[in-house]
Amino acid sequence: MKVLMFGWEFPPHISGGLGTACYGITKGLSKQGVEVLFVMPSASGDEDAGAAHIINASDVSFESTWTKVSVFFKNVKFLKVSSTLVPYVDPETFRNLTVKEMEENQKKSDYEMFRIKYGDKYKFSGKYGINLMEEVARYAMVAASIASQNEFDVIHAHDWLTYAAGIAAKNISGKPLVVHVHATEFDRSGENINQIVYDIERMGMHAADKVITVSNLTRNIVINKYGVDPNKVVTVHNAVDFSAYKKMDVQRGVDEKIVTFLGRITFQKGPEYFIEAAAKILKKCNNARFVMAGNGDMLNRSIRRVAKLGIADRFHFTGFLKGSDVSKMFSYTDVYVMPSVSEPFGISPLEAMKSNVPVIISKQSGVAEVLKYAIKVDFWDIDALADSIYALLNYTAISKMSVRCGAEEVNQLKWDNAAAKIKDVYYQVIAGK
């Protein structure tokens, strides 16, 4: 079986859990005998091609002429391709980029911004920048070319950025489409959704032959918020790959115990609840330090709140971490906290548990469905979160039990098992079920 898979990122170049999940899935599928053609906007050449054949969309020529571009957009119902959507930058940068885009776009007609000639190539950035929607549209056009040049049995598109590409490949090839929902706009933005992103998500889900969600929490959102037939929505929980895991010995520069938040500093991840809980803890004990590792549009606001609470001397911001720096951070950590407002799954708690770190997660996370030995609290319950952190910091028996049982539990969550379920989904869509 051969799968044409569309993703937006792939290790080592990642900005979050999506690339990590794609890597785990492709490795698991490879062990199941499935050949994967993994398409990404911009490949650097250092991606691990052991489990998948990497196709760099920036190397693919367009096979559409200028006169066919409008027809393409009409066919995939992807009409709005210019947007000021910038998911992962701070407010000041957002304003600067928005002004720059408006000035540039005033000089161009709608089609001049996306003019494409037969045989042209487009150099994708593969980032989440100001021209993200333009790249999503062009990526879909390249997908049509790739689909016409390759043989495969099924199409698999990861997250909203690639749904239009999946639809284009399906229209060209006639092959069945599976879309994988790693997060929804309701997770990212709450009820203040970006309508453009929602429309693309809904379009992809309804065009798909099957929809895979990373948790039952996400499955319910897909069914209830996007109106998708429950019979075609399947939950396949994420896992974690520890094949390259190495225990790290680190030298601490402080004597206090360390409590860590690691993730995007955005509404979805609940950083403000972590900060408020930290303030409560530091009023009762002086043996703790708090670390917020990550970046996002709430970073400046979080820094200001920490300063206002008067805890800046015990609260540290590291910026975005990846690779060995993440492993090193877990090695420093005594308690890991994921207070997400809405977390489709959440791989980082599994990584922490593998590093022998006790974990506290929100009940509003998909990973809560598969973990028994993580402490679970409602994201909004700051008192319960503070009590849980305090207990793990000060009661050794609780901490040791959490570490021992958590390590045993997380070792059972393997990508091989998730990949076997995904392969079954492929067989179902190929058979037309």
Tokens of 334: 């005594």
Looking at residue 215, what is its pLDDT?
94
What is the per-residue DSSP string for 106-162? TTS-TTGGG---TT-------S-STTHHHHHHHHHHHHHHHHHH---SEEEEESGGG
Average pLDDT over residues 130-135: 65
Instruction: Tell which phi-psi region holds residue 32, choosing left (phi > 0), alpha (psi between -120 and 50) or beta.
Output: alpha
Is 103 buried (19+), middle (13-18) or exposed (0-12) by CB count in 10 A? exposed
Other CB atoms within 10 A of residue 308 CB: 11
Residue 4 confidence class, pLDDT cut points 50, 70, 90: very high
Q: Look-up: residue for tokens 């051969």? A: 2
Nearest to 179 by CA among 63, 388, 6: 6
Q: In this predicted model, which residue has the larger pLDDT, 97 or 49?
A: 49
Residue range 278-297: average pLDDT?
94
Task: Please check the confidence at residue 68 and state whether its pLDDT lies above 60.
Answer: no
Least confident of 22-36, 163-177, 180-194, 362-376: 180-194
Give the mean pLDDT of 128-154.
78
Structural domains of the chain ordered from first start:
2-111+124-239+415-430 (3.40.50.2000), 257-410 (3.40.50.2000)
**Mean per-residue pLDDT over the chain, rounded:** 82
Asked if the model's pLDDT at residue 257 lies above 70, the reply is yes
3-state secondary structure of 175: coil
**pLDDT at residue 344 above 70?**
yes
Q: What is the pLDDT of residue 303?
A: 97
Looking at the predicted structure, is the pLDDT value of residue 154 above 70?
yes
* H/E segment holding residue 324: helix 324-332
> Between these two residues, 105 and 323, which has the higher pLDDT value?
323
* Segment 417-432 mean pLDDT: 95
Among candidates 64, 57, 182, which has minimal Cα distance to 116?
A: 64
Q: What is the pLDDT of residue 85?
A: 36
Q: Return the pLDDT at 336.
A: 97
Cβ burial 1-39 (10 Å sphere, 16+ → b, else e): eebbbbbbbbbebbbbbbbbbbbbbbbbbbeeebebbbb
Strands (E), 294-422: 315-319, 335-338, 359-362, 375-377
Tell me the pLDDT band of 381, cut-offs 50, 70 and 90: very high
For the ranges 48-52, 65-69, 293-297, the lowest mean pLDDT is seen at 65-69
pLDDT at position 88 = 37
Which of 11-25, 129-143, 278-292, 355-369 is predicted least confidently? 129-143
Task: Please tell me which residue, 136 or 217, carries the higher pLDDT value.
Answer: 217
| Of residues 254, 274, 280, the one with CA closest to residue 262 | 274
Q: Which of 332, 213, 346, 352 is nearest to 362 (CA)?
A: 346
Q: Look at residue 78 in the predicted model and tell me its pLDDT.
A: 33
- Whether pLDDT at 259 is above 50: yes
Closest CA to 275 of 230, 295, 305, 296: 305
CB-side neighbour CA atoms (13 Å) of 59: 9
Mean pLDDT of 178-198: 87
pLDDT at 110: 45
| Joined tokens for residue 262 | 């690691």
pLDDT average, residue stretch 332-359: 92
User: At residue 370, what are phi and psi to the nearest 5 degrees?
Assistant: -115, -5
- Percent of the chain beyond pLDDT 90? 49
Regarding predicted confidence, which is higher, 243 or 154?
154
